A and B are shown apart, each in its own frame.
Chain A
């Protein structure tokens, strides 16, 4: 990237694609904020004054206790994405997130294996809609091939169309990306293989961080997440999300809350899960994490468990992510417009 002294984390881009992206971003920023928000290459779009978060639920989402009804799931997804962008059709909404020609990465969360991971059925539904919206190349990714396989994803490293592989395939950038307390190598899957990333976390508590939802899912994009599981992962989760490659490319968060977990995470603890049967969708990962945290706390209270604060693992990283140094979103419920569909 010329003489720029910052780490070469933005990957190889031609001048033409850089200029094309910049012009498109300018156009998007002039549009009504409710119609979409595209991350920019080299600039950070300001978080809108009120964050919109859509919760889309369907009590009949499951065809069996362990399997999802694909038709109902895609319907759930469509309602969510349309409501988020105030559009009449899902494809119109998706086209506000991605552009034809983008290589779209779907960051899934497979740490807990098939018991509580981003469901392949949801990923299939998203792929279907992306392809209909004109996206030809999709990369489903997480930390390791073995993680993906444990969650029933099939590894496809080469070819065109839809690929699926872990960061262990392409490895990591060689220069550190730094912000605040973190210095990490970012996965080349994100920096070089994708133009845009849609984050697909799950909804569960975490034994150290409090909860692990949208923001913490991006620990899967760096080489050394183990170094940041101290001090309730604060400020590390927020700082990781400030690393330029991550902040620039992640465009949307769709939390798979079909099965949620309120205790024992991140491992899969079936006796502490419940069928929430929903999706939480937002451009604002802080608002999403805050809302997801409240959902978990409510469930814990229902079953007579102590709150995360009482357990000394309140997710402090959420307020850090919203502070003046980060501005990754808002954790103030007054500024989170929750739309339930």
Chain B
């Protein structure tokens, strides 16, 4: 099959951005790459002289190796199927695909087309996901397939999320291989990210299982647009979930995301109920989701439904995809959002995508001392011992050790 886009596969280039616009500019990437462990790992990723090939080229020219029967669907009359993975609930005729573009009805059976079909793989600082309260200073073996179940106008990775799997070069990376590679490259974590792990659910689940057998954790970076049943199962399999809460209005979700807000909020409650570590990113887009009302509403909801200890990151938008007409988020807007969330009683509110901003640090909510120093993706000293502030013994929620 002809190659379409020769994307960022295991090459020494700037990795894709995480969802929610954490644009990794070249400077940040190089700064992050200066970490000793990352340099060693990056060497292995990009062709260290002793590295084995990370992933194999596809075994066959067709897609059969990537095709497995999907989970969470029901068969209907006349070879139709109804997908039950995400709230979109696509009703799909034979030979057609769902909205995500990576699940297909073939003769009345539904298949994922992207199991083991990696389009990009990088070793990133965990802070890039971002996870600020989960194994700080470590690196995540980060993978993605093509596809997504929404179409955010601000998507930074639209060239993999908004394409079909056959439109982008991919490699064959079965779960066991991914787990071994993460372990060999001293990555305590595998991150399913860049595009939308919900749409490659089966691959996430199988890889998380393989990884756990080797003592490697799994974290998911998602828009959270998923039905309850698959989410509950996922919560039992992964160790942390970061949710991109794109906005705080149904109008925004409809017009900018092509999704819905309520299922995402319901999902956040489910994640909390299962005790899975959770962080939230809110990408602030000028004129679209940057009102005080939305910030207030979000902060109040988080405090009442999830509690004050869930980290919330207000991150800076950069023009991309279908929103190139808007300017980057002013830092003052992010600071306003943070001030509102702080005033609502949230304990861990961060400003993202502004390297060097003091709100990248973690502060003890009691004594206000810095307990985790950060600049961009680089972690300095961590002043947390036994999950407590080393100064005043205030519990600091998170997963601080593997």
Contact = CB atoms under 8 A, between A and B. Distances in A.
A267 interface: yes
Query: By DSSP majority rule, is chain A's interface helix, strand, loop, or mixed?
Result: loop
Nearest to B62: A146
Contact of A223 (B80, B96, B97, B164): B164
Given A172-B4, A227-B258, A264 B163 contact: no
A260 B45 CA distance: 54
A172 B99 contact: no
B176 interface: no
B98 A226 contact: yes
B59 to A, nearest CB: 18
Contacts of A169: 2
B166 A227 contact: no
Contact of B101 (A168, A207, A226): A226
B2 A168 contact: yes
Nearest to A167: B167
A224 B2 contact: no
Contacts of A223: 162-164, 167
A171 B79 CA distance: 30
The bracket for how many chain A residues form the interface is: 20 to 34
A11 interface: no
Given A267-B93, A267-B95, A172 B167 contact: yes
Contact of A112 (B1, B95, B98, B163): B95
B99 A176 contact: no
A229 interface: yes
A267 B96 contact: yes
Contacts of B98: 226
Given A168-B1, A267-B94, A267-B96, A226 B164 contact: yes
B321 interface: yes
Interface string B76-94: 0011100000001011011
A265 B80 CA distance: 11
A169 B3 CA distance: 9
B97 A226 contact: yes
Contacts of A264: 78, 93
Given A171-B2, A227-B162, A266 B96 contact: yes
Interface in B145-187: 151, 153, 162-164, 166-167
Contacts of B164: 223-224, 226
A111 interface: yes
Contact of A111 (B78, B95, B101, B258): B95
Contact of A224 (B1, B88, B94, B162): B162
A283 B289 CA distance: 43
Given A226-B100, A226-B101, A226-B164, A171 B95 contact: no
B322 interface: yes
Contact of A207 (B91, B100, B153): B91
A72 to B, nearest CB: 30
A192 interface: no
Interface size class of chain B, counting residues whose CB lies under 8 Å from the partner chain: 20 to 34
A226 B95 CA distance: 12
Contacts of A21: none
Given A223-B167, A227-B99, A183 B78 contact: no
Contacts of A111: 95-96
A51 B166 CA distance: 39
Given A111-B95, A168-B2, A266-B93, A230 B163 contact: no
Interface string A245-285: 00000000000000000001111010000000000000000
Main secondary structure, interface of B, reads loop
Interface in B3-26: 4-5
B166 A168 contact: yes
A113 interface: yes
B322 A230 contact: no
Contacts of A267: 78-80, 93-96
A151 B321 CA distance: 35
A178 interface: yes
Contacts of A176: 321-322
Interface string A175-187: 0101000010000
A229 B258 CA distance: 11
Contacts of A229: 90, 99
Contacts of A172: 4, 167
Contacts of B94: 267
B106 to A, nearest CB: 12
B91 A171 contact: no
Contacts of B321: 176, 183
Contacts of B258: 227, 230
Interface string A142-176: 00100000000000000000000000111110101
Best-buried of B5, B93, B258 by chain A (most CB within 10 Å)? B93
A9 to B, nearest CB: 15
Given A171-B167, A226-B100, A269 B95 contact: no
Contacts of B5: 171, 174
A203 B80 CA distance: 21
A267 B92 CA distance: 10
A264 B96 CA distance: 13
A112 B99 CA distance: 18
Contacts of B97: 226
A182 to B, nearest CB: 9
Interface string A231-243: 0000000000000
23 contacts: A111-B95, A111-B96, A112-B95, A144-B166, A168-B4, A168-B166, A170-B2, A174-B5, A176-B322, A183-B322, A223-B164, A223-B167, A224-B101, A224-B163, A226-B98, A226-B100, A227-B99, A227-B151, A227-B162, A227-B258, A229-B99, A230-B258, A267-B93
Interface of B: 1-2, 4-5, 78-80, 88, 90-91, 93-101, 151, 153, 162-164, 166-167, 258, 321-322
Given A226-B100, A264-B78, 10 more contacts: A168-B2, A174-B5, A183-B322, A223-B167, A224-B101, A226-B98, A227-B258, A229-B99, A267-B93, A267-B94
